[in-house]
A and B are shown apart, each in its own frame.
Chain A
Amino acid sequence: MKGIAVMEMGTIIPIVLALLIFFGSLVSAMNIVNQKNKRIDLVFSLIQIVDRVTEAGVITKNNFNEVQSVLKQTIPVNYYICITTYDDDLYTRCGNGNGLVAAKQDDLKYESPQNVIKSISEEYVSAAFPVTYQVMRGKVPFNEVNRMLVIVWQGA
């Protein structure tokens, strides 16, 4: 009788283990795929943001302010944008009153990109692109080559 019970246990344990391992791997694989899908959504959102901001060719202070309100309505993810002339150390010197800054959450507008990244608890995507930003030199417009840093992340 005892031998039969041991046999049954010996049958049940591997079957239960097999089921746990198989379904566990399925769940884990689904998580990986979902995570990557979210990441590609972020990349597309980032490109969409850069496209919107630069679609006029040259960025001016006025059209940047206009685009900001459109972005808030159309971009579903959180974003932080900084346009600045700084070549080096973009992440520490952007923001903090330097350059043009836009963010979905208004309170992030006054932060540096470093602080924004610190405050993000989930996956984010960031990239810097060259853009032309129009300044006035006397009465003549001049399109400077600037940097545009964009950080996007999921969240409400």
Chain B
Amino acid sequence: MARGIAAVVDAIFLLLIAVVAAGIVLSAANHYGRNFDVQAHKLLINYYAKQVVRTLVTASVERPGGLPDYLLAYLKENVEMFKELGPAEERLKEVIEKAMYPIRDQYDYAVMLDGRGTTWNTVYLFYKVTVNGREENGTVVYRRDFSKLDDWINSMGTVYTSSTTIFLRFCPANVSCYYIPVSIRVLVFPRGEVGPPS
């Protein structure tokens, strides 16, 4: 009789162990599934950022007077002439807004034209952030001191980014023109994660 009861207890222990093991297996599978979804989503948003860079590099804009030209050509010409984006700034903003439209409800973004370390030593930052449910768009130009820009970027928790380098023609006074490397960098981050840059 005692042996029989021992066998039943053993079987119940086996059942308990099986239930715990099943729980562990299912929880691991679910965890794997959730991780997988997060990774797949990250992959798509990173690819989105890459596609935005591609779009910025290949898009056309209308020059004043309605003549079409490549956005990059127009940017290069303006930097060469004015040492700043000048009239090309508005055109660049329009292209950025169009390119970001599909994800603007879920994500905030920033696009940097980064000429740090070059003779130009300027960064243009175009951004859209969400503060208390309200969207704010703007442009900040940094010259020489980039610490606030770096602090702003470092304050983002999750950020998806892609960049490419273009060459702008630079013509300082009394010196022959030369090309400087400037990177176009796209940052996409969850909505409401950071406030506007200062």
Contacts and interface: CB of A to CB of B under 8 A. Distances in A.
Contacts of B21: 22, 25
A18 B17 contact: yes
Given A18-B14, A129-B48, A129-B51, A40 B102 contact: no
Contact of B47 (A29, A35, A50, A144): A50
B68 A29 contact: no
A108 interface: no
A47 B57 CA distance: 19
Contacts, number: 139
B40 interface: yes
B12 interface: yes
A132 B37 CA distance: 29
B99 interface: yes
Interface stretch (B3-11, B120-128, B165-173): B3-11
Given A22-B21, A90-B102, A147-B102, A14 B55 contact: no
Contacts of B131: none
B1 A15 contact: no
Interface residues of B, number: 48
Interface string B55-69: 101111000000110
Interface in A60-78: none
A33 interface: yes
A15 B11 contact: yes
B29 A32 contact: yes
Interface residues of chain B: helix, strand, loop or mixed (majority): helix
Nearest to A20: B18
A17 interface: yes
Nearest to A31: B29
A43 B68 contact: no
Given A130-B55, A131-B51, A144 B15 contact: no
A25 B18 CA distance: 10
Contact of A58 (B26, B37, B58, B67): B58
Interface string B12-29: 101101110111011011
A18 B18 contact: yes
A128 B45 CA distance: 10
B87 interface: no
A36 B54 CA distance: 30
Contacts of B30: 32
A54 interface: yes
Contact of B102 (A25, A125, A130): A130
Interface of A: 3-4, 7-8, 10-15, 17-19, 21-22, 24-26, 28-30, 32-33, 35-36, 39-40, 43, 46-47, 50, 54, 57-58, 87, 90, 125, 127-132, 137, 140-145, 147
6 contacts: A7-B8, A39-B37, A127-B44, A129-B48, A130-B55, A131-B54
